[in-house]
């Protein structure tokens, strides 16, 4: 990234937090045969994220764009093994990260920032490494933030190292299958020597078990000879169209094609590719789309309560792979991949109003059908339990809290002043530095918050503008729900203590008044809820732009902080108004 004239010297010295370090405090680095060396950067460093994202965006579509179609990130690790063991000055420790999970969380935050800046213009791919012992659940969040990925140790591992066992091998294939089903690209690279035919055959057979005709790619090569192309006879085998997905035969896995079959056995690390005479009744390409209809609720139904059952019936000539439910065109939860198809909707987290339900059925060939629309209404009790409405009508100047303002105010008169958000009300404008408000209250199981905001100029780096804190049994507090605003004008929902982005909004326009919602619901250990909403002006909220429904927290919310909620030298120039907190329902506009 720092390829401009003078960049290296300009950025290397004043930005120590951008770099990763060993236990001795030395910057971790690699050496190369050419005599070059390279430092390893800290994916959690806000400055590095913003610099890298802005530089990539400029290269891709900025004034000085250099003609690339997209971005490929090399060596994006899923664990810290390489950093701890394989660098020039590795000593077993990465000072910034005490665990692989902490590193993954930071890496996901980094990918999210890069994606926000480039994915609307060109694809973002990455070479995901150190993956062999990583679970599918830890792997897939990386894939979610990419348009495609490369696995350069596909099926067989790296030369000179132990190959993945049967479980690890199956995880690798499962991740690729999931990515391909989502329309993402997968490049499977098997490394070996030119004449290791058994290794090549096992690798390509493993690839054919999951490949499709549009976005899966394969290569057998050696890391020292990536510029060479090695041709093998099995590349010319004509198998025809696949008849279905892979299935297990003993310790091996097999996939049938119109003109043959492939089989790979991860226990013996062997592969078989067999071409047969194509039958006259070859399976034609599946162009028949599924059928799908919503069975419950029926059109005109009034929905209320925390557990509304939504179901659909779906059929396909080759079998339905999954059904995705949508509310006003926005996904509700994940795709349901097993019949009967359905989900339970907590309608209390959705503003009252009229909505449209649809269901999208998908088959293995990628054909999809959207059901007929079913119009329903959300009619939960409008009885509210207001905690506080902060209107700023009496002004909030330094040292003098207004009677309708927040409990606690931080900042100086120069930082917090009165200005108009609209002609109807007075609001608080935060300009520069660390200036924010805290509203504390009796702990509640569910907190519904909303506020108006207008951005006068975008921040120069990502900043946090709202957070909910929970009270622990020992009297301490923990941050759960957080809203961040990026330098690109995108709101991001995150869980406190993690840089993992749960979801992002569309880009907010400078000078436009928006209404923002943040909902946090106490769970029992695996079902805590976080949601973020966005509406223009005084419109009611629709479906959340970001949502988590499997949170581990079991404590109650006890305070709400908003504005410039953390010490930061970045500039904030925004206006806030009508902060409403409720424990029973989303506040009305």
Q: Is 334 within 8 Å of 348 (Cβ atoms)?
A: no
Nearest-10 Cα torsion for 438, 440, 445, 450 = -40
Quick count: other Cβ atoms within 10 Å of Cβ 76? 21
3-class DSSP state of 85: helix
Assess contact for 82 and 127: CB atoms under 8 A. no
Nearest to 321 by CA among 359, 371, 361, 360: 361
**What is the CATH topology of the domain spanning 291-378?**
Immunoglobulin-like (2.60.40)
Kindly report the CATH number that applies to the domain delimited by 7-239: 3.20.20
Maximum average pLDDT range among 128-132, 224-228, 313-317, 384-388: 313-317
What is the CATH code of the structural domain delimited by 386-582? 2.60.120.200
Q: Average pLDDT for residues 261-266, to the nearest whole number?
A: 96
Pairing mode, if any, of strands 501-507 and 490-495?
A: antiparallel
More confident residue, 130 or 450: 450
Whether residue 453 is predicted with pLDDT greater than 70 in this model: the reply is: yes
Peptide bond into 297 cis (omega under 30): yes
- Give pLDDT, residue 394: 46
CA distances from 168 to 130, 298, 505 (A): 12, 45, 35
Beta bridge partners of 296: 311
pLDDT at 13 over 60: yes
Distances from the Cα of 370 to the Cα of 325, 345, 360, angstroms: 10, 19, 4
Q: Say which residues have a Cβ less than 8 Å from residue 395's Cβ, sequence separation at least 6.
A: 402, 418, 426
Q: Determine the pLDDT at residue 423.
A: 37
Q: Tell me the percentage of the chain whose pLDDT exceeds 90.
A: 42
Helix (H) or strand (E) holding 55: helix 46-61
**Residue (of 286, 285, 243, 249) closest to 267 by Cα position:** 249
pLDDT score for 62: 77
DSSP state of 9: H
Task: Give the model confidence (pLDDT) of 499-514 as tens digits.
Answer: 678 888 888 888 888 9
Of residues 7 and 78, more confidence is placed in 78
Q: Looking at the chain, which residues constitute the CATH 2.60.120.200 domain(s)? A: 386-582
Cα distances (angstroms) measured from residue 275 to each of 155, 212, 253, 279: 22, 18, 17, 12
Measured between alpha carbons, how far is 219 from 190 in angstroms, rounded to an integer?
6
Closest CA to 107 of 21, 60, 173, 41: 41
Q: State the Cα angle at 298 between 293 and 302, rounded to 5°.
A: 140
pLDDT band at 404 (very low <50, low <70, confident <90, very high): very low
Instruction: Grade residue 399 by pLDDT with cuts at 50, 70 and 90.
Output: very low
Name residue, tokens 């590095």. 48
Confidence band, pLDDT 50/70/90 cuts, at residue 433: very low
Quickly list H helices, 119-165: 136-144
C-alpha dist (Å) from residue 457 to 85, 380, 418, 481: 45, 38, 17, 25
The per-residue pLDDT of the chain, averaged, comes to 85
Read off the pLDDT of residues 34-50 as tens digits, 9 standing for 90 and up.
888 889 999 999 889 98
Q: How confident is the model at residue 324 (pLDDT cuts 50, 70, 90)?
A: very high
In the chain, which segments carry CATH 3.20.20? 7-239
In the chain, CATH 2.60.40.10 sits at 291-378
For 183-208, the pLDDT digits (tens) are 899 999 999 999 999 999 999 999 99
For residues 268-280, give the mean pLDDT: 88
Q: Output 366 or 107, whichever has higher pLDDT.
A: 107
- Computed over its alpha carbons, how large is the radius of gyration of the chain? 27
Q: Taking residues 340-363, what's their average pLDDT?
A: 88
Say yes or no to pLDDT of 401 above 50.
Answer: no
Position of tokens 């902080």? 561
Give the separation between CA 128 and CA 428, rounded to whole angstroms. 45
Poorest-pLDDT segment among 7-11, 52-56, 278-282: 278-282
- Whether the CB-CB separation of 208 and 274 falls below 8 Å is answered with no
């Amino acid at each position: 990234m720092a390829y401009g004239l003078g960049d290296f010297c300009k950025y290397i010295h004043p930005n120590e937090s951008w770099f990763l370090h060993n236990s001795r405090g030395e910057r971790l680095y690699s050496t190369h045969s050419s005599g070059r060396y390279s430092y390893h950067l800290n994916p959690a460093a806000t400055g590095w994220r913003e610099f890298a994202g802005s530089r990539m965006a400029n290269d891709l579509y900025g004034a000085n764009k250099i003609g690339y179609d997209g971005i490929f990130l090399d060596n994006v690790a899923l664990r810290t093994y390489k950093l701890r063991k394989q660098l020039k000055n590795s000593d077993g420790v990465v000072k910034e990260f005490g665990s692989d999970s902490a590193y993954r969380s930071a890496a996901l935050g980094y990918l999210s920032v890069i994606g926000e800046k480039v994915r609307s213009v060109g694809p973002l791919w990455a070479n995901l490494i150190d993956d062999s012992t990583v679970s599918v659940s830890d792997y897939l969040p990386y894939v979610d933030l990419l348009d495609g990925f490369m696995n350069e140790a596909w099926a067989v591992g790296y030369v000179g190292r132990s190959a993945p066992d049967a479980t690890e091998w199956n995880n690798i294939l499962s991740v690729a299958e999931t990515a391909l089903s989502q329309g993402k690209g997968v490049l499977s690279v098997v490394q070996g020597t030119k004449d290791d035919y058994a290794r090549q055959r096992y690798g390509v057979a493993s690839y054919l078990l999951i490949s499709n005709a549009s976005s899966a790619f394969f290569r057998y090569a050696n890391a020292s000879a990536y510029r060479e192309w090695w041709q093998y006879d099995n590349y010319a085998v004509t198998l025809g169209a696949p008849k279905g997905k892979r299935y297990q035969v003993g310790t091996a896995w097999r996939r049938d094609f119109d003109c043959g079959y492939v089989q790979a056995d991860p226990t013996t690390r062997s592969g078989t590719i067999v071409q047969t005479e194509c039958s006259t009744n070859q399976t034609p390409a599946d162009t028949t789309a599924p059928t799908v209809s919503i069975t419950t609720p029926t059109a005109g139904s009034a929905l209320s309560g925390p557990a509304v059952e939504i179901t659909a019936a779906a059929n396909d000539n080759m079998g339905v792979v999954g059904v995705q439910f949508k509310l006003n065109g926005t996904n509700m939860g994940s795709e349901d991949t097993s019949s009967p198809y359905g989900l339970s909707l907590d309608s209390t987290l959705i503003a009252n109003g009229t909505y449209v339900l649809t269901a999208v059925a998908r088959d293995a060939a990628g054909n999809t059908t959207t059901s007929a629309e079913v119009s329903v209404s959300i009619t939960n009790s409008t009885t509210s339990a207001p905690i506080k409405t902060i209107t700023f009508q009496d002004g909030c100047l330094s040292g003098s809290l207004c009677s309708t303002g927040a409990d606690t105010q931080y900042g100086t008169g120069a930082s917090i002043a009165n200005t108009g958000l609209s002609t109807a009300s007075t609001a608080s404008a935060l300009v520069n530095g660390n200036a924010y408000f805290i509203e504390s209250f009796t702990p509640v199981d569910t907190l519904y918050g909303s506020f108006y905001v207008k951005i006068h100029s975008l921040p120069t780096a990502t900043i946090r503008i709202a957070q909910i804190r929970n009270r622990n049994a020992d009297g301490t507090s923990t941050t759960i729900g957080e809203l961040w605003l990026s330098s690109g004008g995108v709101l991001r929902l995150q869980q406190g203590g993690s840089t993992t982005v749960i979801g992002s909004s569309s880009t907010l326009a400078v000078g436009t008044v928006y209404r923002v919602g943040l909902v946090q619901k106490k769970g029992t250990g695996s079902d805590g809820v976080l949601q973020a909403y966005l509406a223009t002006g005084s419109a009611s909220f629709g479906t959340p732009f970001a949502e988590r429904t499997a949170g581990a927290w079991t404590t109650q919310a006890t305070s709400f902080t908003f504005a410039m909620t953390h010490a930061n030298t970045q500039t904030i120039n925004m206006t806030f108004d009508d902060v409403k907190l409720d424990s029973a329902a989303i506040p009305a506009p």
